[in-house]
Structure 1
Amino acid sequence: MDRAKTTSSEGSIGSDFLQLDVREAPPGGLADWLAGQLRAAVADGRLPVGGRLPASRVLAAELRVSRGVVTEAYQRLIDDGHAEGRGRAGTVVVAAPVLPPSPSPTRFSASRVITPLPGAEVFDAVRAVPARIDLTPGVPDLTAFPRAAWLRAERAVLDELEPSHFGYGDPRGAPSMRLAVSRWLARNRGIRVDPGEIIVVAGVAQALTLVGEVLRQHGVRSVAVEDPGSLGARQHLHHCGLATPPVPVDDDGLVVSSLAAPAVLLTPAHQFPTGVVLGGSRRRELLRWAAAGGIVIEDDYDAEHRYDRAPVPAVRSMLPEVCYTGSVSKLLAPALRVGWLLAPPRFFPDLVAAKRFADLGNPVLAQLVLARLMETGELERQLRVVRGRHRRRRDAMIRALASALPSAVVHGAAAGLHLTVTFEGEVDDVAVAAAALAEGVKVQPLSWHRQLPGRPGLVLGYAARTVSEIEEGVAVLGALVKSP
């Protein structure tokens, strides 16, 4: 074995990475051109400090030039201090050119991020703004992600995988994942479903997009939504070309008697953002409406997180014709992008086709790891851990609100990951949220989630913040609301 060859080429960056094309070099200036290309790659970070250049003979062969051209170019980098020759370790980048300082960034305008009529990009814009206290709703405690359990499950899965598992799979999802989801839903949501009827999706967001596309194929042009109801969900439906007529929500949930559209999207277990539960009489009304031909889309939004009440069964457990969707975003982490979609037979083949052409199916490895966590009981253990932590943070936010905003009405405390507060009088919730963002505190104005007139308010996530952060953030809100 040529040990020098093995050492010099292993771990180096080949010319294909830099996209070098010797046809761009001027006649008779190959070494100058190559040295310039390498300096540029060091300057813009493609060749990082500490990175090893390809062995001269390897790069010469790839570029189809003499080895002397490459060694001369390397020597020029060494001479000007960008690189250093280290014998068998090769030629290593040791310094980058000092670039002129970037102009100071313009201080962001909170009022341009938090606007009365937010566009489709608003959530991306808000996430991009740094804040010392982020009370954005819908985010679990990301520090509680079960890293050790995930790594154990991942190692076990990799030990058992056959080579065929690394190929393209069923667009509906890995069979073991669909089986695990069917058992999870039976245990936790009272839903009995065959694994073959489940489609694994990239979160509820993708589920809504797939359902919206298929409903349009079936001639549906509008999907009624709760009011107040999720701005993000409305945006996904609008992207599919669907209208979203609002239906009022009161203390008993969606006012079913106001439904006029052919389909409805609702969050019956823990309504977003008010936190109310769809009452028994309203559920019976909804079943009658569906029996008459209405299409029900159920987003089982953060239904696992309950503190002061018994579990509320999913509507899908009572009505198999429901399009049902859920995910692990509120239980583990949104970054996993794993959820599930159940649909009645009349829509199922078209939804599978839509998923196939969207992405050929979710990444399989994450599905297999998550399935193992579900089947071994790790996910239930994780839920018990975060439920206690979230309850303590919810209680801290309720106490802080009572102190800083005693006149505000608190909604949705029995379950979930957020609280909604509403105000009496002339409070501009958009202005308050923008002012809070300027002070380093992120919240969402309730008016973002309304299409109909209603009381102003704020939607406040508590699960991802410590007690002291919650107290400080709510104190900032209290000072802003009381300001003239």
Structure 2
Amino acid sequence: MTESWATFGADLHLDLAAGRGLRAGLTEALREAARSGRLAPGTRLPSSRSLAADLAVARNTVAEAYAELVAEGWLTARQGSGTRVAERARARRTAPAPAARVRHPARRGPAYSLVSGSPDLGGFPRAAWAAATRRALTDAPNEALGYAADARGRVELREALAGYLARARGVYADAERIVLCAGFAHGLMLLSKVLRGRRVRDVAVEGYGLGVHRELLTGAGLRTRPLRLDGAGARTDELPGKAVGAVLLTPAHQFPTGVALTPERRTAAVDWARTTGGLILEDDYDGEFRYDRQPVGALQGLDPDRVVYLGTASKSLAPGLRMGWMVVPDALLEEVLAAKGHTDWTSGAVEQLTLAEFIRSGAYDRHVRGMRTRYRRRRDAVVGAVSDRASVTGVAGIAAGLHVVLDLARGMERPVLQAAAGQGLALEGLSAFRHPGSDLPPREAVVVGYGNPPDSAWSPTLSALLSALP
């Protein structure tokens, strides 16, 4: 049977010179590709048989062109290694260098980082994840690799999440009501669109929180109304006076102050939602990580019909996976799916199948427990190290999460941040998270994201922090 060209080796695009013989044109095209750098030194070329078939020329034509370029030094040919572009081939200049150029010093980023919101990426379980990927691909049906048929995402992951969230976070969920998304921001964008479609104009948010989340809401045409915060969490008892259609909360571990919403405040939020028909958007961003307390379950468990639960793998695994999920009330599901249909940024089927296998096999629980131990040691190191610093008046938010808040003496936030920058340390002040419309009194503090540094940089990063604190 005649072999198809599609059965041969690597493809190679060549611009054959017009008006020349086949061999001469092929030789010049290969020479120019190597000389210009389009074919990098070390690039392996197709066999003479494969290239001849692709170009529909005699094999001898290709063999002679290769031989000529080997003799000229543009190519090398070794038994068992094939024909390659010679290492000494270098790209030519395509334009003259400018007569003069103003040189600016290269900008260097900070040497260390204690910015909140990121886990230790060096702790990502690469070997276990790769093993889960192999198992998931072995078992995956062929249709899983096609175009997505269900806007909610792969059913395998939705089923695995339904079991995990019920067991670990107290969420009432079934696979039918879970919608996969590409992280919390994507989920919030979809919900913002749904809220606008429901003619909601105002959303309550916590007085301290991520500015990017407020910007997503305002970018969708929604106004944000700040709730006051105290040691019991957001003042959800003030919701009835806010005239809002939804509220965004971080009940398990308020970001960034670190307090948990008390049972009374949780009940107040649910009572408000039931009375007004409002929605609660629950951001459970780091609910797996707790140290000195019993797990605080999801607010969604109090009323699955009034709470949209949002979670991600960004803190537990890595933000680069772009993996998030929403547990959506029945009455909201079709609207969320309609919004998602035009902005489906959900991670690919292979990643979804892998995470499903990772959860089902118990590898996810093992990884979380291991990272919980690592982060607790870091938290203890921070708390112990700053205990004798005169500028630090208190440490808050230590019971859970990946960051702590260091309260500072009056007027010290700016000087500490400046000193940190001088140490090459990226650090955030609490004031950066304050809602611009909040009437909360100013609080001098820095937010220390101890989950961020890799193990190899942990000691010098902690030293840089201590050097910035008088």
The normalised TM-score by structure 1 is 0.82
Q: 1:388 to 1:361 in 2, by over 3 A?
A: closer
Aligned to 2:249: 266
Aligned to 1:253: 233
Q: Secondary structure at the match of 1:307?
A: coil
* C-alpha contact (below 8 Å) 1:405/1:478 kept by paired residues: no
Answering whether residue 218 of structure 2 is matched by residue 226 of structure 1, we say: no
- Aligned pairs (5 A) from 1:165-204: 165-169=144-148, 170-204=150-184
**Once the 2 structures are TM-superposed, how far is the Cα of residue 378 of structure 1 from its aligned partner?**
2.1
**Once the 2 structures are TM-superposed, how far is the Cα of residue 432 of structure 1 from its aligned partner?**
4.5
Of the structure 1 ranges 444-453 and 211-220, higher mean CA displacement relative to structure 2 is found in: 444-453
Aligned to 1:287: 270
Aligned to 2:105: 106
Matches of 1:326 and 1:39 in 2, distance apart? Answer: 50
Q: Secondary structure at the match of 2:331?
A: coil
**Once the 2 structures are TM-superposed, how far is the Cα of residue 277 of structure 1 from its aligned partner?**
0.6
Aligned CA RMSD, in angstroms, stands at: 3.4
Deviations 1:376-413 (A, max 9, x none): 32222222211111111100011122244653422100
User: Which ranges in structure 2 are unaligned for 5 or more consecutive residues?
Assistant: none
**Once the 2 structures are TM-superposed, how far is the Cα of residue 103 of structure 1 from its aligned partner?**
9.2
Q: 1:390 to 1:428 in 2, by over 3 A?
A: closer
Aligned to 2:370: 385
Matches of 2:91 and 2:416 in 1, distance apart? Answer: 43
* C-alpha contact (below 8 Å) 1:34/1:70 kept by paired residues: no
> Which of 70, 81, 90 in structure 2 is aligned with 1:97?
90
- Aligned pairs (5 A) from 1:46-65: 47-56=39-48, 58-59=50-51, 62=54
Q: Secondary structure at the match of 2:244?
A: coil
Answering whether residue 410 of structure 2 is matched by residue 425 of structure 1, we say: yes
Matches of 1:223 and 1:40 in 2, distance apart? Answer: 61
Letter in 2 for 1:107: A
> Which of 430, 440, 448 in structure 2 is aligned with 1:460?
448
Of the structure 1 ranges 138-147 and 226-235, higher mean CA displacement relative to structure 2 is found in: 138-147
* C-alpha contact (below 8 Å) 2:248/2:281 kept by paired residues: yes
Q: Secondary structure at the match of 1:340?
A: strand
* C-alpha contact (below 8 Å) 2:34/2:85 kept by paired residues: no
Answering whether residue 189 of structure 2 is matched by residue 206 of structure 1, we say: no
Deviations 1:221-248 (A, max 9, x none): 3322212111232233234333323222
Matches of 1:364 and 1:193 in 2, distance apart? Answer: 21
**Once the 2 structures are TM-superposed, how far is the Cα of residue 439 of structure 1 from its aligned partner?**
3.2
Letter in 1 for 2:34: R
* C-alpha contact (below 8 Å) 2:391/2:469 kept by paired residues: no
Aligned to 2:283: 299
Q: Secondary structure at the match of 1:346?
A: helix
Matches of 1:168 and 1:361 in 2, distance apart? Answer: 12
Answering whether residue 308 of structure 2 is matched by residue 316 of structure 1, we say: no
Aligned to 1:326: 311
Q: 1:419 to 1:81 in 2, by over 3 A?
A: farther
Letter in 1 for 2:177: E
Aligned to 2:338: 353
**Once the 2 structures are TM-superposed, how far is the Cα of residue 220 of structure 1 from its aligned partner?**
2.2
Matches of 1:241 and 1:76 in 2, distance apart? Answer: 67
Q: Secondary structure at the match of 1:155?
A: helix
**Once the 2 structures are TM-superposed, how far is the Cα of residue 162 of structure 1 from its aligned partner?**
2.5
Q: 1:73 to 1:354 in 2, by over 3 A?
A: farther
> Which of 12, 18, 35 in structure 2 is aligned with 1:14?
12
Answering whether residue 152 of structure 2 is matched by residue 153 of structure 1, we say: no
Q: Secondary structure at the match of 1:454?
A: coil
Aligned to 1:215: 195
**Once the 2 structures are TM-superposed, how far is the Cα of residue 158 of structure 1 from its aligned partner?**
2.2
Deviations 1:199-227 (A, max 9, x none): 11112121111111222222223322212
Deviations 1:447-476 (A, max 9, x none): 221123622322211124367844533443
User: Which ranges in structure 1 are unaligned for 5 or more consecutive residues?
Assistant: 109-128
Matches of 2:184 and 2:127 in 1, distance apart? Answer: 26
Matches of 1:422 and 1:238 in 2, distance apart? Answer: 30
> Which of 429, 440, 444 in structure 1 is aligned with 2:428?
444
* C-alpha contact (below 8 Å) 1:404/1:479 kept by paired residues: no
**Once the 2 structures are TM-superposed, how far is the Cα of residue 434 of structure 1 from its aligned partner?**
5.8
Q: 1:339 to 1:467 in 2, by over 3 A?
A: closer
Matches of 1:67 and 1:438 in 2, distance apart? Answer: 65
* C-alpha contact (below 8 Å) 1:393/1:467 kept by paired residues: no
Letter in 2 for 1:284: T
Of the structure 1 ranges 337-346 and 229-238, higher mean CA displacement relative to structure 2 is found in: 229-238
* C-alpha contact (below 8 Å) 2:323/2:346 kept by paired residues: no
Matches of 1:103 and 1:32 in 2, distance apart? Answer: 41
Q: 1:80 to 1:481 in 2, by over 3 A?
A: farther
Percent of paired sites with the same residue: 38
Answering whether residue 75 of structure 2 is matched by residue 83 of structure 1, we say: yes
Answering whether residue 216 of structure 2 is matched by residue 244 of structure 1, we say: no
Q: 1:89 to 1:206 in 2, by over 3 A?
A: same
Letter in 2 for 1:447: S
- Relative to its length, the structure with more helix (as a share) is 1
The normalised TM-score by structure 2 is 0.84
Matches of 2:375 and 2:126 in 1, distance apart? Answer: 19
Aligned to 1:413: 398
* C-alpha contact (below 8 Å) 1:199/1:341 kept by paired residues: yes
Q: Secondary structure at the match of 1:233?
A: helix
Matches of 2:60 and 2:104 in 1, distance apart? Answer: 45
**Once the 2 structures are TM-superposed, how far is the Cα of residue 154 of structure 1 from its aligned partner?**
2.2
Matches of 2:457 and 2:390 in 1, distance apart? Answer: 16
Q: Secondary structure at the match of 2:282?
A: strand
* C-alpha contact (below 8 Å) 1:263/1:296 kept by paired residues: yes
**Once the 2 structures are TM-superposed, how far is the Cα of residue 298 of structure 1 from its aligned partner?**
0.5
Aligned to 2:34: 39
Q: Secondary structure at the match of 1:347?
A: helix
Matches of 1:197 and 1:222 in 2, distance apart? Answer: 26
Q: 1:254 to 1:262 in 2, by over 3 A?
A: same
Deviations 1:27-53 (A, max 9, x none): 559458624641366x3xx53332212
What is the count of residue pairs matched by the alignment? 449
Of the structure 1 ranges 232-241 and 377-386, higher mean CA displacement relative to structure 2 is found in: 232-241
* C-alpha contact (below 8 Å) 1:222/1:262 kept by paired residues: yes
Of the structure 1 ranges 447-456 and 50-59, higher mean CA displacement relative to structure 2 is found in: 50-59
Letter in 2 for 1:217: G
Of the structure 1 ranges 140-149 and 390-399, higher mean CA displacement relative to structure 2 is found in: 140-149
Aligned to 1:141: 120
Q: Secondary structure at the match of 2:316?
A: coil
